[in-house]
């Protein structure tokens, strides 16, 4: 007895893999179920194909190929996304480093420009003193070239050279020039610190040596070729109202007579140094100048501290910019 079509549709058997029905094309619902439960079924039932309740067979080579190619493509996509993210991070890092480098560059250029202009001013004052006053403030007979004019000329030239190296190094972002500027400024700072420490450590010996040397310099007063020393002693004795190094009698050994320069007189006039000692200043110039320096020690200390801070600031700018240039060359090359 033949079953009806309605009964047959209820008990339709599972299609074969070669079936062309649309419901089972490319795997159908059973293929999807096997993809979801195949791994668990293979472990539980021992089926080689990983079937589900025995209703599915081996998926075939195309499905297997699709199963393994899809994760591989996803890995490539994730890898490229990671590379893009890393590239953006590095680009942002390089941009920030370049921005910091530009800021430090302009700050260091402005600093060294002021440094260079200050050196020009000091050099100009030294040249003016050398041209108009000769060897101004040459008080030492042991070091006749150690005058105020020569010191200003040497200091101004050195400061100009250091400032020029710093400016060019900042503009060109040259590591060699920046390092040269740092080393030169560090040597100057260490030299100044060493001189200050030695001065305070051996102040007594320096006092005695300075007084002896200044007394020897008195014998050059008024002689030919020592205009700077003569002018320096005249200015000091007039402005500080003092006479001689330790006493007015220091001049007696110079003139071999009871006589002092006219700059020692209470009231200046021609040949007033030949008058009685009552018309002369009695204070020793060395102690008077020393007392004046001690009274203005705060100003001297502030000047020295400002000089040290400017040098430390220059060292900081130089080393910071050097490190920024190295980082920019390393990460953004």
| pLDDT tens column, 292-323 | 988 888 888 898 898 889 889 889 888 888 88
Stretch 120-137: mean pLDDT, rounded?
Answer: 78
Work out the pLDDT band at 136, boundaries 50, 70, 90.
low
* Per-residue model confidence (pLDDT) at position 97: 57
Mean pLDDT of the chain: 74
Lowest average pLDDT, out of 105-109, 172-176, 324-328, 329-333, goes to 329-333
* Per-residue model confidence (pLDDT) at position 268: 82
* Per-residue model confidence (pLDDT) at position 203: 87
Closest CA to 26 of 69, 68, 63: 63
Lowest average pLDDT, out of 87-91, 116-120, 252-256, goes to 87-91
Cβ–Cβ under 8 Å, residues 148 and 177? no
pLDDT value at 67 more than 80: no
**Assessment of whether the complete model's pTM goes beyond 0.85:** no
* Per-residue model confidence (pLDDT) at position 80: 52
Stretch 126-133: mean pLDDT, rounded?
Answer: 79
| pLDDT tens column, 167-214 | 898 888 888 998 999 999 999 999 989 998 998 899 889 888 888 888
| pLDDT tens column, 95-124 | 665 666 677 788 888 888 888 998 899 899
Name every residue whose Cβ is closer than 8 Å to that of residue 322 and which is 6 or more positions away in sequence: 175, 178, 179, 182
More confident residue, 11 or 159: 159
Tally: H helices and E strands in the chain = 10, 0
Stretch 223-245: mean pLDDT, rounded?
Answer: 86
Work out the pLDDT band at 144, boundaries 50, 70, 90.
low
Stretch 47-65: mean pLDDT, rounded?
Answer: 47
pLDDT value at 62 more than 60: no
Interhelix angle 148-172/297-331, nearest 10 degrees: 20
Q: Where are the beta strands (DSSP E) in the chain?
A: none
* Per-residue model confidence (pLDDT) at position 87: 53
Stretch 34-40: mean pLDDT, rounded?
Answer: 41
Cα atoms found within 13 Å of the Cα of residue 17, Cβ hemisphere only: 8
pLDDT value at 265 more than 50: yes
Work out the pLDDT band at 84, boundaries 50, 70, 90.
low
Coil, helix or strand for 137?
coil
The partner residues of 280 in beta bridges, in order of sequence, read 265
Stretch 1-10: mean pLDDT, rounded?
Answer: 44
């Amino acid at each position: 007895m033949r079953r009806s079509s309605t009964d047959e549709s209820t008990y339709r058997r599972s299609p074969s893999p070669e079936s062309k029905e649309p419901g089972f094309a490319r795997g159908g619902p059973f293929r999807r179920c096997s993809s979801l439960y195949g791994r668990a079924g293979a472990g539980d039932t021992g089926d080689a194909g990983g079937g589900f309740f025995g209703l599915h067979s081996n998926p075939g080579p195309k499905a297997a190929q699709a199963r393994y190619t899809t994760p591989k493509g996803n890995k490539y996509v994730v890898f490229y996304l990671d590379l893009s993210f890393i590239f953006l991070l590095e680009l942002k890092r390089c941009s920030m480093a370049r921005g910091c480098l530009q800021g430090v560059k302009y700050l260091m250029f402005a600093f060294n420009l002021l440094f260079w202009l200050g050196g020009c001013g000091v050099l100009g004052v030294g040249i003016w003193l050398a041209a108009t006053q000769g060897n101004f403030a040459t008080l030492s007979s042991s070091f006749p070239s150690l005058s105020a004019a020569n010191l200003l000329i040497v200091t101004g030239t050195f400061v100009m050279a250091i400032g020029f190296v710093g400016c060019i190094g900042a503009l060109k972002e040259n590591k060699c020039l920046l390092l040269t500027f740092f080393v030169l400024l560090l040597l100057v700072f260490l030299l100044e610190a060493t001189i200050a420490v030695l001065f305070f450590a051996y102040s007594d010996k320096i006092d005695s040596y300075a007084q002896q040397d200044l007394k020897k310099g008195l014998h050059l007063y008024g002689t030919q070729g020592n205009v700077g020393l003569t002018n320096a002693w005249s200015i000091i004795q007039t402005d500080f109202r003092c006479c001689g190094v330790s006493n007015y009698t220091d001049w007696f050994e110079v003139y071999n007579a009871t006589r002092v320069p006219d700059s020692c007189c209470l009231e200046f006039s021609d040949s007033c140094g030949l008058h009685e000692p009552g018309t002369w200043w009695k204070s020793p110039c060395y102690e008077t100048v020393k007392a004046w320096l001690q009274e203005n020690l705060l100003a001297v200390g502030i000047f020295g501290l400002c000089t040290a801070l400017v040098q430390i600031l220059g060292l900081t700018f130089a080393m910071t910019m050097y490190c920024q240039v190295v980082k920019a060359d390393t990460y953004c090359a």
